Structure 1
Amino acid sequence: MVRSLFTAATGMIAQQTQVDVTSHNIANVNTMGYKKNRAEFADLMYQVMSYAGTPTSTTTTHPTGIEVGLGVRPQAITKIHSQGYFKETGNNLDMVIAGNGFFQVQMPDGTTAYTRNGAWKLDSDGNIVNDDGLQLVPNITIPADATQISIGIDGTVSVLQPGAQEMQQVGQIEIVNFINPAGLHSSGDNLFLETGASGAPIIGIAGQDGLGQIKQGFVEMSNVQLVEEMTELITGQRAYEANSKAITTSDAMLQTTNELKR
């Protein structure tokens, strides 16, 4: 009887995790470059009262055992790196990666972080930076007198300057991919960090070796589907309620047991 109280409690804790993950997805439904999370669960250990195959006679055995499960636990929260939808902005510095890959930015400590957020700006020196002022890697500087900026599908950055008849290339955007993007560490601010699980970054040119192409004038929005998340929220809530009912039922059974002797 007491076992069921603790088993149901693990279910409530697990469903709370489900609701927390879903709430985080919903909160980031309009976050550029955000990749949704998925909560995954595993059953806990079992209390074995009788093993399958236990002899019942000299010629027969139990076809099944008696194993009582002890609940559930959160096993993983997986980042789903599917493509978000593209939103046209008309800004010459906005870019999306149509396919696999990440942009690189340099952190203040000199390390490299990775992002799918392609909303870029220029700092006071003409360097391409993100909203937090982190420079794009490799660094590309746009001349102050540039009248037009063009970014090719392969990441070639060219500008048109006064008096020039042709575009002049000023840099090449490199993008990276990972063997296991789901293994990247989410550090917030639309940034990911390399881990031992993600593998080392594979640097390349857009449109080559399985990397996506770069499209200018667009940003990638979140890949969260609000209808799916609302469904997950409802199922998580109902599962939480069902587990609470199991606790209530177990409590009522214990109360009945306590009232047997009067």
Structure 2
Amino acid sequence: MSSPLQIPGWRHLYSGKVRDLYASEDPGDTRILVVASDRVSAFDFVLSPGVPHKGELLTTLSMWWFDQLSDVPNHIAEGEIPDAVAGHSMLAMALEMLPIECVVRGYLTGSGWLEYVASGTVCGIPLPAGLRNGDRLPEPLFTPAYKAPMGEHDENITFERAVELVGAERAAELRDVSLAVYGRAAEIAEQKGLILADTKFEFGVDADGTLRLADEVLTSDSSRYWDAEIWRTAATPEERMASFDKQIVRDWLAANWDKQGAPPALPDDIVAQTADRYRELITRLRG
């Protein structure tokens, strides 16, 4: 991973897989500068090379969704973005981040499909028999995960475990807000000819105890989007679920890496295809 940028007036705090966080050097300014990089991750590894303009594309999409969901409290703060990171960063309130990823699944796919094949459940929740890969679920499911420390794998957890981590009232609030935001976002996506198959949200609590939607929201890195018409008419599950995200990267790695040691460098055509899908999604959503 490359060294963080030196940004005048800002002190580097932390680097995740794809984002870097900075604190103001002004002791009276509690805002956080969230910088989205062009790094791309899969299977909990940061890959090389990055995807050109990915940070700008994902920041643009997050900010668009925050606007669509403006009545949901979020972490966006007012202020001027430093020139060095303009276009791919946002100013955010300092929050106490909750240790839970709030995953909502509207369709059966990914790890949920593998579990369903094995046991008829998704994250331990029983589902009707006879569902196919990519089918719409009878109702969206809230399937939380524990946010593991850097370098470790996130862990699917039960709702009861979420209650143990954050308390019954907060866990219920996370579930209800996550399902409501997913439902609204899915409706907006549907109007654009898109299916929002699943997504994950992160939340934090401000100094007043208000729950706020934080981090990125409904981006290609945190969500699966499919073309609705293709989903209805495609002959195979693979065609049906062609997604507007880094699935191209995951598929290439799965075919070319045994998950032992460091992952191989991504070919130029895989990087270019991924960037094209990110751009296409933004174009489709924003019109």
Answer 1 or 2: which has greater strand percent.
1
Where relative contact order (Cα < 8 A, 6+ residues apart) is larger, the structure is 1
Q: TM-score, normalised by structure 1?
A: 0.25
Q: TM-score, normalised by structure 2?
A: 0.23
- Greater CA radius of gyration, 1 or 2? 1
Answer 1 or 2: which has greater helix percent.
2
